[in-house]
Amino acid sequence: MDVIVTDAPERSRFEAHVDGRLAGYVQYVRLGKKLLMTHTEVDDAYEGSGVGSALARQALDIARRNDRVVRPLCPFIAGWIRRHPEYLELVDPVDVERVTAEAKS
C-alpha cells in the first residue's frame, strides 16, 4: 500500500492519502521554525496497516527538509520518535528528555 503524505498548511496538518482517499493526518501548529505536532488521527479502515507509521515518518521528513524544529506533543508522534531515534535530532531541546524518558516509565 502506497501512503502519500503532503503538507496541507491551509488545514494546519500533514495528510496521508491511500489511493486518493484521506487515510489520516497529523495536526500541527506552526510557530516560526517550530512545528508543534498536537494530534494524530488514522481512519479506522486503515488501523494496523502501517498508515500511522508512514504518516509519522513522512511528516517528520518534510519537517526535516524544511529545517523545522519539532515539538511532539502528540503521544503517537512522541512514541514513534522514541522508537526511531534517528529523528530525535529534530526534537526541540525542551522536549528531548520527556520524549526519551517516556520509554522508561
pLDDT confidence of residue 104: 57
User: How many structural domains are present in the chain?
Assistant: 1
CATH number of 52's domain: 3.40.630.30
pLDDT (tens digit per residue) in 60-72 = 999 999 999 999 9
pLDDT of residue 1: 77
This prediction has a pTM of: 0.92
Q: Is the pLDDT of residue 17 over 80?
A: yes
Cβ atoms of residues 26 and 77 within 8 Å: yes
Q: Return the SS3 of 15.
A: strand
Alpha-helix runs per DSSP H in 1-105:
51-65, 75-83, 93-101
Q: Would you tell me how many other CB atoms lie within 10 Å of the CB of residue 21?
A: 10
* CA 26/CA 100 separation, integer angstroms: 21
At 19, give phi and psi (nearest 5°): 50, 40
- DSSP-based three-state secondary structure for 105: coil
pLDDT digits (tens, 9 = 90+) for 28-80: 999 999 999 999 999 999 999 999 999 999 999 999 999 999 999 999 999 99
Residue 37: what residue type?
Answer: M
| pLDDT over threshold 70, residue 102 | no
Question: Residue 20: which domain range?
Answer: 3-104
